[in-house]
Amino acid sequence: MGFLRTLFEPVGDLFFTAECFHCQAPLADGEQRLCAACWAALTPVRETDRTFRIMTERFRADGEIDGLLSLFYFEKGKALQTLAHALKYQEVGSFGTELGRRLGAAALERGVTADLIVPVPLNRRKERERGYNQSDLLAGGMSAVTGVPFDPRAVRRVRYTVTQTALTAEQRRENIADAFEVRPRRRGALRGAHVIVVDDVITTGSTVREIARMLKQAGAARITAASAGLAMLEGEGPAVDIEER
């Protein structure tokens, strides 16, 4: 059922998206799902921001992730929270593709180039229920804009992990440790490559960090973590947590 909903979703858009998915305001010509005002109200992530600088420094200090690219801060009550929730729980897959295209445009604007885009794999049961992996949609949209190929099967999840929402940063690292593996047949394409690892929202970064570790063990030379949303550090703004995977 999830697959069929995703397949016919663009047809449904013609009839059921007269209002903004977030604020319910009438959509203008050319607007789909979300109005221009709600897009404009999102807080963009800038490289000079304290949260961005600290997260980037933490990633580089670990030696697994070399760069960070995020579109917007994940804030309570803002449209990105609505989009992320719709992607995860309401099976509105077109949001993922649109966010991915915007992520691709941001990569081009900032001069981020790579050899391969790899989405964070979803728990198999959840992917069957939704009919898709939201990170696959983001990666596909990003690939369409940048021309960088993406491989949704490069990394697979090999161990079940509990919901990370209520876990501390240390607990998240322990929970996600050794939960992924690089498929043996994909290792050749990774040697010496710059890989972009795509997730919908980065909170502590434990998931993308673990995948980056696996990719570098398989021979990748450089890893950039990319996401539609980035959680603000405590004290920086009205951030909200979301279930990872």
- Does residue 52 have a pLDDT over 50? yes
- In the chain, the domains with their CATH numbers are 44-230 (3.40.50.2020)
Pairing assessment for the beta strands 222-230 and 194-202 based on DSSP bridges:
parallel
CA distance 145 to 226: 14
Residues 6 or more apart whose Cβ sits within 8 Å of residue 168: none
Helix ranges restricted to H, the chain: 2-16, 36-41, 50-62, 79-89, 94-109, 124-130, 134-146, 169-176, 187-190, 206-217
- Position with higher pLDDT, 83 vs 13: 83
Place of tokens 């993308």: 208
- For residue 116, give the DSSP letter: E
Provide the percentage of residues in the chain whose pLDDT is more than 90: 53
| pLDDT the model gives residue 53 | 96
CA distance 222 to 224: 7
CA distance 175 to 200: 19
Write the pLDDT tens digit of every residue in 119-134: 999 878 777 877 888 8
Write the pLDDT tens digit of every residue in 172-209: 777 777 889 999 999 999 999 999 999 999 988 999 99
CA distance 141 to 105: 10
Residue from 67, 100, 105, 72 nearest 195 by CA:
67
- Position with higher pLDDT, 242 vs 118: 118
Q: What is the pTM of this model?
A: 0.83
Cβ contact 180:157 at 8 Å: yes
Write the pLDDT tens digit of every residue in 208-229: 999 999 999 999 999 999 999 9
Cβ contact 133:152 at 8 Å: yes
Residues 6 or more apart whose Cβ sits within 8 Å of residue 166: none
| pLDDT the model gives residue 106 | 98
Residue from 33, 36, 35 nearest 17 by CA:
33
- Position with higher pLDDT, 230 vs 84: 230
Write the pLDDT tens digit of every residue in 53-82: 999 999 999 999 999 999 999 887 788 888
CA distance 130 to 122: 10
| pLDDT the model gives residue 100 | 95
